[in-house]
Amino acid sequence: MAVSNMLFSDVESFLDSHPDLFEDYLNRKGNYSMVEKWLKNHQASKSPAAAASTAEPREEKGNACKDSWASKCDGLQRRASQKELRKTFARSKAINVNRTYDEHVNSRAQEPLTSMRRRALLRKASSLPPTTAHILSALLESRVNIPQYPSTAVDFKYYLKEHSEREFFLELVKDISNDLDLTSLSYKILVFVCIMVDADRCSLFLVEGTGNKKTLVSKFFDVHAGTTVLPSMNSDEVQVPWGKGIIGYVAEHGETVNIPDAYQDRRFSDEIDKLTGYKTKSLLCMPIRNSDGEIIGVAQAINKTSSGELFTEDDEKVLQMYLPFCGIAISNAQLFAASRKEYDRSRALLEVVNDLFEEQTDLEKIVRKIMHRAQTLLKCERCSVQLLEDIESPVVKFTKSFELLSPKCSADTETSFKDSMEKSSYSDWLINNSIAELVASTGLPVNISDAYQDPRFDAEADQFSDFHIRSVLCVPIWNSNHQIIGVAQVLNRLDGKPFDDADQRLFEAFVIFCGLGINNTIMYDQVKKSWAKQSVALDVLSYHATCSKTEVDKFKAANIPLVCELGIDKLSFDDFSLDVDAMITAALRMFIELGMVQKFKIDYETLCRWLLTVRKNYRMVLYHNWRHAFNVCQCMFAMLTTAGFQETLTELEILALIVGCVCHDLDHRGTNNAFQAKTGSALSLLYGTSATLEHHHFNHAVMILQSEGHNIFSNLSSTEYSDLMQLLKQSILATDLTLYFEKRNTFFELVSKGEYNWNVKAHRDMCRSMMMTACDLGAVTKPWEISRKVAELVTSEFFEQGDRERLELKLTPSAIFDRNRKDELPGLQLEWIDGICSPLYETLVKLNPKLQPMVDMIRANRANWEDLNKKRQSGQSVSTQAIPYSDEATETKICTPCCSGDSESTPSKTAS
């Protein structure tokens, strides 16, 4: 068809026949001015043009219009100023009873969640640890797409109402079914109720609270169908007490109230009408129920738009059909709001846990974080935490109190956090209040809605302060042992409402984590104090366990006798021939004679100090004391020099053996490893049950070496030092007879077969271990009188352990530890020599024949023990001269220098 021949009527007819084509063209070519002209021309009409239903709402100059709802001009109208005055007056008359938390859901919740929104959610979660669970929850939330149906214009709803009631009703139901924002949903319901019953004004009241604390709250008052802008969600709501007025009556009784003349009903109040100049004529009020039949709200319609008309039974039937759908939609929106609130609160609790585990070293910092989180969660004006002075005491006394004011109540949030000693006068009630003491003593939370109406509240103290308390929520703080360590309380919700049950549950859950954090911080502080005490104690013990400078100077200047003068090179050396100080000089002579001082550049003053401190760290027990350590060292010195092992071993090995002998029983307690295990002593817990004491002896030796001025190895190279410490540890651990039994069969076999090789490291290690055991048991190779005295001391020490086993552990000790079987000693000594000592020394003689005198002396001593054993078996009494076990003899030996020395006590390890 040529353009010049086209008529307008043909084009219009074509477009009427092809509405889809027209709609597509309008969407592509239409502009804002065209739509604005259309709205202006059709403003007064109820019936929209053919394409009106496709018009989309737009934002203009910041007004957030959700729908292009045209204003209705017909019907009874009132001036905007009167309407605002009416709302203000209604709010002023509202009774604020049991006001609960006002949950405002962000309007973004009803928008489709795009990828940008998802990224924003993940950014919001950045303050939490990047755990899989939290990221997953954020991603899940970001993908919850609520079904969205574009709301049609109000004019189109009027059109549907006149032409198709079924489509009209379906449109209204569909419009509220997908809105989970309680605020916008409530507003929609009011507008749609106005349209359905042709009401001039509508109000919606929702039930809040439970039990006898119910109240009716309306966030939108006097909404009419022609409103084009959604009222501010921050506006104050109107509250009506439960059972008061027409609204309260309908909510309480669940009845529909249809009043043709409001002024004739005694429940109606005309105060608002007088104030605004607007006259309420007819009134229709109906309850809204959820799916369980419970009343959750009340809808109220005022005055028909047609002057003089009343609300009819048809209006009631229409609302009775529509309001159940509204009840379902409101319940869904409330559930969604509650779930969002719980999600936000759960996330906040996770952030609390993160904060607590980030900071567990400073009590003030962690309490500051706790109070800041509490204010954020509960939106309160003030928060305080008070800690008990003594959690075990029945008397409640707070030792520390911390406070934090909301930024809305205090301009300087930094200075609002103060310790109890720095608080201003208004804090006195918080420090000494009876409510906190009541919670701390009973362990029960206290939630006060109106402080001045509660007898537990000190109103006089509050009146003298600048901060006035309306409501109080106070809960106890528990530690992991279910002990109350303090209380936490929040004051005055920012919205003016009292704290409800949800607030209390949240605060109690919050305080559980806070209690753990505070308890951990207190424990950390206690650990620091314990560490400080331990450091002081170790410093004191180190001072008293270290020799004095006078002693060091004394031996540093002393003349050291020669080896021949001391007789320390003899295998038959008398263990009791030297006094305490002479043993120190003899030990110095050993180091000098072996060339250790010169070879390893040992500072002579350090060597003197080290020997004196080692002597001081041996306890005053009967046998395993300093004298025993010196005698073991002397035996090793004789084996190295007289027997010639010095020529075979390296200088580093010799140094390790000599130092090992001196330190091998450091801090011995007079009991053996088995006793440590039986009693579960601290040593067994620290080192285990394998070579318990030997590990302790080595660690004690290391501790002395690491003490200031005691490191005789300070001039060794790092390699030499490392090798020496390994050799030293092997030497000391070798004195455990359990390890001796593990190795001796292999060693005996190598020597007997002639396969022992000094060039094999494992063979050398075994030989050094056997030498340490031989020196430790060396008393059995000494002349009879010396060997007998040593046996007496060892047996006396064993008997003391046996007495402890019988008294403390209620056990019957074995024969060698049983004082009641002391007459069996000769037989036990024969078993000791034959089973443990003789095989060892006879094998060493095969390796080094110069040790033959030791074997000869063992045989002589064995003969003496055998004679005594025969006399015992024949019924002859064994005289105390042969084996003096009398208390007098034992007491004498304890008092002699050979037994006491300058040492302390230690457990026996040799025979078990």
Site of tokens 């409530």:
186
Q: Which residue, among 515, 474, 516, has the nearest Cα to 491 in the 3D structure?
A: 474
C-alpha 732/C-alpha 692 separation (Å) is 12
H or E element: which one contains 259?
strand 257-259
Question: Does 737 have pLDDT greater than 60?
Answer: yes
C-alpha 567/C-alpha 634 separation (Å) is 10
Report the chain's terminal Cα–Cα distance, integer Å: 123
Which carries the bigger pLDDT value, residue 255 or residue 433?
Answer: 255
Q: Which residue, among 505, 498, 492, 490, has the nearest Cα to 373 in the 3D structure?
A: 490
At residue 388, the pLDDT reads 85
Which phi and psi (to 5°) does residue 205 adopt? -115, 130
For residue 150, the 8-state DSSP code is P
Residue 58 near residue 32 (C-beta atoms within 8 A) = yes
Q: Please, where are the H alpha helices in 102-244?
A: 115-124, 132-142, 154-163, 165-177, 182-197
Residue 218 near residue 94 (C-beta atoms within 8 A) = no
Q: Is 758 exposed, middle or buried (0-12, 13-18, 19+ CB in 10 A)?
A: exposed
Other beta carbons less than 10 A from residue 881's beta carbon: 8
Note the pLDDT tens digit of each residue in 360-389: 677 777 777 777 877 777 888 888 888 888
C-alpha 735/C-alpha 454 separation (Å) is 77
Interval 111-128 mean pLDDT: 44
624, 664, 696, 700: the active-site residue: 624
At residue 479, the pLDDT reads 82
Task: Please state the three-class secondary structure of 786-825 as a single string.
Answer: HHHHHHHHHHHHHHHHHHHHHHHCCCCCCHHHCHHHHHHH
Site of tokens 């760290």:
617
Strand 380-388 to 484-493 pairing: antiparallel
Lowest-confidence pick of 151-160, 665-674, 745-754, 835-844: 151-160
Torsion sign, CA atoms 429, 434, 440, 445: negative
Site of tokens 């350590």:
629
pLDDT band at 595 (very low <50, low <70, confident <90, very high): very high
Q: Which residue, among 267, 266, 256, has the nearest Cα to 313 in the 3D structure?
A: 256
* Strand blocks (E) in 377-509: 380-388, 398-405, 446-448, 472-478, 484-493
At residue 526, the pLDDT reads 80
At residue 551, the pLDDT reads 93
Note the pLDDT tens digit of each residue in 123-166: 444 444 444 344 444 444 444 444 444 455 666 667 777 767 77
Residues 6 or more apart from 704 whose CB is under 8 A from it? 610, 613, 614, 617, 663, 666, 710
Contacts 24+ apart (CB under 8 A), 756-763: 756/847, 758/648
Helix-helix angle 580-593:651-663, to 10 degrees = 170
Torsion sign, CA atoms 507, 512, 517, 522: positive
Q: Which residues partner with 197 through β-bridges?
A: none
pLDDT band at 906 (very low <50, low <70, confident <90, very high): very low
C-alpha 780/C-alpha 93 separation (Å) is 108
Residue 395: which region, alpha, beta or left (left: phi > 0; alpha: psi -120 to 50)?
beta
Q: What is the dihedral of CA 27, 33, 34, 35, to 10 degrees?
A: 70
Q: Which residue, among 622, 633, 404, 355, has the nearest Cα to 514 in the 3D structure?
A: 355
Mean pLDDT of the chain: 77
At residue 721, the pLDDT reads 96
Which of 507-521, 669-683, 866-880 ranks highest by mean pLDDT? Answer: 669-683
Interval 534-551 mean pLDDT: 77
Q: Please, where are the H alpha helices in 406-500?
A: 428-432, 434-442, 459-463
Note the pLDDT tens digit of each residue in 190-239: 888 888 888 888 888 888 877 777 888 876 665 655 544 444 444 456 77
One-character DSSP codes across 735-770: T-HHHHHHHHHHHHHHHHTT---TTSHHHHHHHHHH
Q: Is 624 a catalytic residue?
A: yes
Which carries the bigger pLDDT value, residue 17 or residue 800?
Answer: 800
For residue 849, the 8-state DSSP code is G
Other beta carbons less than 10 A from residue 613's beta carbon: 20
Question: Does 563 have pLDDT greater than 80?
Answer: yes
For residue 883, CA distances in Å to 41, 551, 623, 778 come to 133, 38, 16, 19
Torsion sign, CA atoms 374, 376, 380, 383: positive
C-alpha 266/C-alpha 20 separation (Å) is 58
Residue 397 near residue 388 (C-beta atoms within 8 A) = yes
Residue 662 near residue 903 (C-beta atoms within 8 A) = no
Interval 608-634 mean pLDDT: 95
Q: Which residues partner with 466 through β-bridges?
A: none
C-alpha 909/C-alpha 351 separation (Å) is 56
Residues 6 or more apart from 865 whose CB is under 8 A from it? 826, 829, 830, 833
Residue 568 near residue 590 (C-beta atoms within 8 A) = yes
Residue 364 near residue 396 (C-beta atoms within 8 A) = no
